[in-house]
Amino acid sequence: MNDTKERSPRGLRFKLFTYFLLFSLIIVVLLWVFQILFLDRFYDAITDARLKKAAEEIAEAVKGDSLYETAERASRENGACVNVYSIEDLQAVCLCSVDAEVACVIHILSQRQLNTLYKSTYASGGSYSNAYRLIEGEGFRFADEKAEIAEGEKIVDERKVYAHLITAPDGEEIFVLMDHPLSPIEATTNILRVQLSVLSAVLLLISFLLAYFISRRISLPLSFLNIAARRLPSGRYPADYRETGYREVAELSQTLSEAAVEIGKVDKMKKELIANISHDLRTPLTMIIGYAEVMRDMPDENTPENMQVIINEAHRLSSMVEDLVSISRYEGNADEVKKERFSLSEEIRNITEEYRSLLSSRGYSVEGSVEEGLFVLADRRRLLQTARNLIHNAVNYAGEDKTVLLRLFKTDGNSVRFEVEDHGEGIAEEDLERIWERYYRVDKEHVRSVVGSGLGLSIVRENLELHGARYGVESALGRGSVFWFELKLEK
Ligand code: ADP
């Protein structure tokens, strides 16, 4: 026995649960990253862009007469101090100065510091920004962000200076300085951190609960359905089992119920078939054994007629076995169709002859009206098996007149139509649909005398459907039946 058991995949519930939690976790992480880690960078980038735009507007306004208004507006809108210089021969002349706050860096610049700023701006291609600390000790001074603070000094403010340098068409250099408080990002971040901690915990808890209930709601009906479906093979699946919850489960449950009904039917039919077949097999076998023993023991009985009985019974056996073999072969390679072009007229003529000579001794009359030269594109073996099964049935269920009529002709619609007619008892309206089902036999008790497995017409149906052919039966009780099929005519 093979005991290397394959590891079964994780259940739906586990997966849903994990994905849900993972999703929430990703959201929480993203929130933290954007709100805490990158907040100052975002803030810096946005402020830089805003100040740069304002500085450009101010520099533009130098040549007009609205310099002061522009600088004032920029100062108001950005909460920044503004200084505008004209640089000539490395000498800065202040053109305009607007104060937004008392403590700012650009208003306590020494000439040397102004020069340094100018050079840095020049070196950076016209735009420069840097953060400074405004330090109060003996008076005010400012130092770079990372600079050390001496004892007795304290940081009053943190500022960002933005410098912009342009050269006017007449060669004059305009140097705009803006000074802007670095907003208390750290305080904001701290508040956000506390908020986010609470939010993350709540979010994870909610998603945990949601994941639990949703996964339960989705998987529970499936589990119940599975338990019920396990009973399918034993036929104990309730045919009207309805597991609701959501549409897919209801549909699956409906499908399983239908399958249960079908399995039940097939099971019943199979049992009947086995009973029938064993009964039907026994009759010809008893006849063969009986006749053979008589012929062995009594040399006088060794007549051609008795031999014929044995041969006929052996034929009955063989045709029953053939039906069974066909159906199992069919199940093995259901959609294998080897199409070829051949003359159906010729084949039907041969079959007619074959049946005529075989059955004439038993008093049957098989008559054929076959139009010549009708070709089709089809699987020869399957099509001839189809024709034979129909003829077989017509012979089996033929009426008193023991007549079977075969017709092959071309229809108006460019098709070839094959018809098998008998004048037997016919088929009741309510059975017409069902006779094509596997193992289905009308009036089992009565037909017991006739050899049959209930498979013949199901083979016919499968074969014709594989060819996309039209087929059917016209039948009236007491008057007989005409079974027919139509295939496309092949020129
Ligand atoms: P079977 O081997 O029992 O003939 P089929 O599948 O060929 O199985 O046919 C199914 C049932 O259809 C038969 O049991 C029979 O009752 C009915 N049937 C088929 N052909 C005819 C016919 N020509 N005349 C009357 N009944 C027929």
Give distance in angstroms: CA of 389 to centre of ligand 1. 10
User: In angstroms, what is the span from residue 361 Cα to ligand 1's centroid?
Assistant: 23
Kindly report, residue by residue over 17-41, the tens digit of the pLDDT: 788 888 888 988 998 888 877 887 8
pLDDT digits (tens, 9 = 90+) for 285-313: 888 898 899 899 998 888 998 898 888 78
pLDDT digits (tens, 9 = 90+) for 215-260: 888 888 888 888 888 887 776 766 666 666 778 888 888 888 888 8
Q: Whose CA is nearest to atom 2 of ligand 1?
A: 452
The pLDDT assigned to 473 comes to: 95
Mutation choice for ligand 1 from 442, 448, 459, 483, CB with most ligand atoms inside 8 A: 442
56-99: pLDDT as tens digits: 888 888 878 888 899 999 888 888 889 999 888 778 888 888 88
Contacts 24+ apart (CB under 8 A), 222-228: 222/12, 222/249, 225/249, 225/252, 225/253, 225/256, 228/253, 228/256
In this predicted model, which residue has the larger pLDDT, 467 or 11?
A: 467
Asked if 116 contacts 141 with a C-beta cutoff of 8 angstroms, the reply is no
Cβ 81 vs Cβ 75: under 8 Å: yes
Cα angle for residues 449, 452, 455 (degrees, 5° grid): 160
The confidence score (pLDDT) of residue 453 equals 60
User: Average of pLDDT values for 162-187?
Assistant: 82
Residue 389 CB-density burial (10 A; 0-12 exposed, 13-18 middle, 19+ buried): buried
Asked if the model's pLDDT at residue 175 lies above 60, the reply is yes
Alpha helix stretches (DSSP H) within 33-168? 39-61, 67-78, 111-123
Q: How far is the CA of 435 from the centre of ligand 1 (A)?
A: 7
pTM greater than the 0.85 cutoff: no
H or E element that contains 418: strand 415-422
- Candidates 397, 391, 389; CA nearest to 456 is 389
Which has more pLDDT, 126 or 337?
A: 126
List, for residues 455-483, the tens digit of each pLDDT value: 788 889 988 998 999 999 999 888 999 99
The minimum-distance atom of ligand 1 relative to the CA of 483 is: 23
Nearest to 82 by CA among 51, 128, 113: 51
* Ligand 1 centroid distance, CA of 456 (Å): 7
The DSSP bridge partners found for residue 175 are 85, 165
Q: Report pLDDT digits (tens) over 424-466.
A: 999 998 888 888 887 677 765 544 345 556 678 888 998 899 8
402 vs 250, higher pLDDT: 402
Ligand 1 centroid from CA 393, angstroms: 6
The burial of 175, by beta-carbon neighbours within 10 Å (0-12 exposed, 13-18 middle, 19 or more buried), is given as buried
Residue type present at position 292 = A
Q: Which two tokens stand for residue 121?
A: 């701006």
Tell how far the Cα of 324 is from the centroid of ligand 1, in angstroms. Answer: 15
Provide mean pLDDT across the span 153-179.
85
For CA atoms 353, 357, 362, 364, the dihedral sign is positive
Task: Give the binding-site residues of ligand 1, using a 6 Å CB cut-off.
Answer: 393-394, 396-397, 422, 424, 427, 435, 440-442, 447, 452-458, 481
* Cα distances (angstroms) measured from residue 204 to each of 22, 33, 249, 400: 10, 17, 29, 84
